[in-house]
Structure 1
Amino acid sequence: MRECQRLNRRVFFLVASLLLLASFRAFASWDEYTLRGYVKDLVGLHRTDPHLVEPGLRLSNTIHARQNLRWYPTYTLTGALEVKTWLAALLIENEAMDGIEPVAEGVPEFGQARYFDWSWTPIDQEDVTLMTTIDRAWVDWYAGQIQVTAGRQRIAWGTNLAWNPIDLFNPYSPLDFDNEERPGTDGLRFQYYTGPSSKVEVAAAPVEEFEKSVTAALVKINRWRYDLHFLGGRRGRGTVVGTAWAGQIRGGGFRGEALYTYPDEDSHIPEPYLVAGVSGDYTFPNSFYLLGEVLFNQRGTTGPAGGLHWATAIAEGELTPARTSLFGQVALNITPLIRGSISGILNPHDRSWYIGPSIDQSLATDLDFTAIALIFGGDERTEFGDLGQMLFLRLKMSF
C-alpha cells in the first residue's frame, strides 16, 4: 500500500511539474536561448477483432511532454536539445486482452537504429510506465554555402507525403499520427548549397551493429520547375541508388520516389528489388484537400500480409509488406477553427484496409483538441485484419 502511495505521489509531482513548466511561457525565451514545447494528454481505447481472440477492451491514458531547447552562441552555430517524457497508465483491461500489445504499440511502427541509448524508464510497472528519452541533441554549424550538423537529428529525404522510399535514415509509418516531429537518428550530415534550390549532401548514421549502418550522398537540383533528387549509398548489407521529384501539374502537387537496392552476396535477400511511390494532391479554393498515393514494393507479398511480413518489411526499409499499397486522404476546414479529415490505406491483394477519420479543433491560443479513430478491417492474418479498432482523444497545450 505504501509503495502504491509513493508511486501516486511521484506521478502527481511529475504531472504538476510538467504543467508548471508549460505555464512559464513568459520566461521561456532569452537572447541566446529559446524554450518551446507542449504537454499532451492522450486517451486511447483499443478493441480487438473477434477472429483474433475473444473480444477484448483496453482503456489507457498517456501524458506526453516535450521540451525543445535551442542555443544560439554565435550567428553560425546552433545547438539543440529536445526531450520527450511519457507517463502511460492502463485504466481498464479485461482478461481477453492478455498477451495483446498496449494501445500505443498496437499500430505497426518503424524502429529507429540509433548508436546511443538515451532513454530512461524510472517507472516500469504493469499498469504504469514512465519513460524519458532525448529525441534530438545536435550542433549545427553554418558558414556561407556549407552546413554541418552532428548528433541526434532528423535527416529527412523524400518528397512523398505518405511513404518515402528514399528516406534511408528515418523511415516512418503514416499510421504513427501522434509523433509530429517524426523519428531522429544519430548521425553526421554535410550540406553544400550550390544555389537557392540545389545542393550536394552527404550523411552517415552508424549503429553498434555496423552492418546496419547507413551512409549515402544526395544531389538536389531544380530543372523545368521541378526539384530533382539523385542519391546513392550503403544501407545495411546492400547498395542503394534512387531518385525523386517534386513539382506541380495545373496547380496540383506531383511527386514521386524510387529506390533500387542491390543486396550483398552474403545478404539473406536473394536479388535486387525496387520500392517506388507516386503521389498527387490538390487544394481547392474552399480549402477542400485531396491526396492520393500509390506504393510499389517488388519484394512485397500478394498474399496475406500480416504477422511476420510486417516485421520483415520494416527491418528492410520496404515501408509495407504488400506488393502494392494505396493511400488516400480528404480534408476540409469546416470552420476557421475546426478541420476534419479522413485518410485510408488499402491492400488490394489481401483486401485488408484502414480508415482514419479525425477532427482537429483550436480551443484557444496554444490549446488544441483532436479526436481520431483507427479502424482496421480484413480477414485473419491479412495486413490490417488483426489490428482491431482504436479511438483516441487528445488535448495539446503548447508553450
Structure 2
Amino acid sequence: MLKMYRYFLILFVACSSLTSQAQDSTGVQSKPKKWQLTGYLKNMQSAQIANADTNWNFINLIHNREDLRFYPNKHWDFHIGMRNRIYYGESVQYLTQAPALFKSSNSYFDLQKIVAQGPSYIIHTTLDRASATYTKEKWEVTAGRQRINWGQNFVWNPNDIFNAYSYFNFDYEERPGVDAVRLKYYPGTTSTAEIAYKPGRVADSSIIAGLYRFASGGYDYQFLAGYVNGDYVAGAGWSGVIKRAGFTGEITGFFPTQNIGLRTTVVSASMGINYTFPNSLYLHTAYLYSSTGMIKISNTQRDILFSQVVSAKRLSPARHSVFAETAYQFNPLLRGNFSGIVDPSDGSFFLGPFINYSVSNSVEFLFGGQLFFGDSTSLYGGYGKFVFARLKWSF
C-alpha cells in the first residue's frame, strides 16, 4: 500500500507542476502557444450490491488523465494522452478476470503496464493517444494511436469499425483509440473522404477501410467499405433533423471472406431520435438490431454482457435492444440524467440514473448507478446494482 500512495503522490505533484507551467502565461499575448496540457484527476467510489441483505463489494478508483499537445508550426500537431489508474478495495481481485479493462484489442503496440499490484490494489498506466498529424491545404494524415470516429449515433455505432466502445463504460469519456494510419481529404466545405489502415499482429486482425461523407438536403450522409478482421464490410449512416428532432442512423454488413459455408454474414443496424425542449428537457430513444444476437441467454452465457469484447460487429449480445433517455438541466450547476436499456426477448432491463453537480468551473461531483434487473438466465439479470460517487477536478 505504501508503494501505491507514493506513486499517487508523485503523479499528483507532477500533474500540478505541469499544469502551473502550462497556465503561467499572464502578460502580453504574442505568439500562439506551442504546448498545451489538459486533463483531470478523479476519485470514484463504487459499490456492488447483489442483494441488500448480503455483503456489499466496494472498490475505489483514482483516475488521472493528461493530454499533452505540441504545435511546432501550422502544419504539425503531436498528441500524447496518458491514463493512470489506481484501483483499491475488496473487489480488486475480480478485475484481473477482465483483461480488456487494461489492454485494448485495438493495440498493435503494447503501451500499457501494471506498475504495481497486490491483493487489494492495482496501479495501471497506459498511453491511449500517441499520434502525429500533418495538415496541408485539403489533406490531413495522422499516424499513431488515435480515435477514428465514424459513428453517427449516441449509444450504438455499427459504423465505428475501428474503435467501438461500450455504453456502460461511462467513466471513459475520451473512448478508446486504435493504432492506425489515416488519410483525410476535404474536396469541399461539406464533404470528406477518408481511408485508414490498422495493422494486425495475427491473421484476420487487420482493418483497412474508406469512408466518404457529404451533406445534402439538410442531412449528412456517409458510406464506408473495406476489410475488417477477416470480413468484407459495407455500411452507411446519416444524421439530420425531422421538424426539431435529431434523427440518426447507421447500418453495417460484415461478409466473411473465408469458410463462407461455416461463417455467417452479420448485419448490425441502429437508429436514434433525440429532442430538446425550450426548457432544456432532453429526450432520446434508440434501437439496435444485431442479426446474430441471441434471443435467449443460456446458463453458460450468463456473464456475456461484460465478458464479450465490444466491436461494431457485436455491439450487444442481444438480437434486439431498445434504449431510452431523459435529461434535464435543473439550474446552471445541476443536471440530472436517467437512461434505460431493455432486451425485449427476455424482458430484462438496465437503468442508469445520474446526477451531476458543478462545484466550480473545474470541479464537479457525480452520483449515480447502474442497476440491472431480470432473471438469472436473462441478459441483464444476475449482475445486481452498482452505485457510484465521483469527484472530478479538470485542468
- The 1:221–1:289 alpha-carbon spacing in structure 2 relative to 1, beyond 3 Å, is same
The equivalent residue for 2:36 is 34
Task: Return the alpha-carbon distance in structure 1 between the equivalents of residues 50 and 21 of structure 2.
Answer: 42
The equivalent residue for 1:332 is 328
Q: Does 1:142 align with 2:135?
A: yes
Task: Return the alpha-carbon distance in structure 1 between the equivalents of residues 262 and 364 of structure 2.
Answer: 46
The equivalent residue for 1:82 is 81
Q: Does 1:177 align with 2:170?
A: yes
The equivalent residue for 1:130 is 123
The secondary structure found in structure 2 opposite 1:211 is coil
Structure 2 gap ranges (5+): 27-31
Over residues 44-86 of structure 1, what are the superposed CA-to-partner deviations in whole Å (9 max), with x where a residue is unaligned?
1112259xxx944211111111111111111111111111101
The equivalent residue for 2:302 is 307
- The 1:269–1:141 alpha-carbon spacing in structure 2 relative to 1, beyond 3 Å, is farther
- The 1:345–1:108 alpha-carbon spacing in structure 2 relative to 1, beyond 3 Å, is farther
Aligned residues: 387
Q: Which amino acid aligns with 1:396?
A: K
Task: Return the alpha-carbon distance in structure 2 between the equivalents of residues 114 and 196 of structure 1.
Answer: 33
The equivalent residue for 1:352 is 348
TM-score (norm 1): 0.90
* Partners of 1:28 and 1:36 within 8 A in 2: no
Over residues 164-188 of structure 1, what are the superposed CA-to-partner deviations in whole Å (9 max), with x where a residue is unaligned?
0010001011111001000000000
Matched ranges for 1:30-69 at <5 A: 31-48=33-50, 55-69=54-68
Query: For 1:121, which of 92, 98, 114 is the aligned residue?
Result: 114
Shift in Å at residue 28 of structure 1? 8.1
Structure 1 runs of 4+ off > 6 angstroms?
106-110
The secondary structure found in structure 1 opposite 2:376 is coil
Query: For 1:260, which of 253, 261, 264 is the aligned residue?
Result: 253
Q: Which amino acid aligns with 1:363?
A: V
* Partners of 1:19 and 1:39 within 8 A in 2: no
* Partners of 1:353 and 1:377 within 8 A in 2: yes
* Partners of 1:18 and 1:39 within 8 A in 2: no
Task: Return the alpha-carbon distance in structure 1 between the equivalents of residues 282 and 241 of structure 2.
Answer: 15
- The 1:300–1:111 alpha-carbon spacing in structure 2 relative to 1, beyond 3 Å, is farther
* Partners of 1:304 and 1:382 within 8 A in 2: yes
- The 1:387–1:109 alpha-carbon spacing in structure 2 relative to 1, beyond 3 Å, is farther
Over residues 100-128 of structure 1, what are the superposed CA-to-partner deviations in whole Å (9 max), with x where a residue is unaligned?
x3499699999542100001211111111
Shift in Å at residue 254 of structure 1? 0.5
Over residues 111-148 of structure 1, what are the superposed CA-to-partner deviations in whole Å (9 max), with x where a residue is unaligned?
54210000121111111111110110111111111111
* Partners of 1:60 and 1:103 within 8 A in 2: no
* Partners of 2:95 and 2:101 within 8 A in 1: no
* Partners of 2:67 and 2:79 within 8 A in 1: yes
- The 1:237–1:274 alpha-carbon spacing in structure 2 relative to 1, beyond 3 Å, is same
The equivalent residue for 1:317 is 313
Shift in Å at residue 304 of structure 1? 2.0
Q: Which amino acid aligns with 2:130?
A: A
- The 1:346–1:237 alpha-carbon spacing in structure 2 relative to 1, beyond 3 Å, is same
Shift in Å at residue 223 of structure 1? 1.3
Task: Return the alpha-carbon distance in structure 2 between the equivalents of residues 107 and 184 of structure 1.
Answer: 13
- The 1:8–1:146 alpha-carbon spacing in structure 2 relative to 1, beyond 3 Å, is closer
Task: Return the alpha-carbon distance in structure 1 between the equivalents of residues 201 and 316 of structure 2.
Answer: 25
Q: CA RMSD in A?
A: 2.7
* Partners of 2:161 and 2:312 within 8 A in 1: no
Query: For 1:226, which of 219, 232, 249 is the aligned residue?
Result: 219
Matched ranges for 1:279-294 at <5 A: 279-294=272-287
Matched ranges for 1:130-209 at <5 A: 130-209=123-202
Q: Does 1:242 align with 2:241?
A: no
The secondary structure found in structure 2 opposite 1:314 is coil
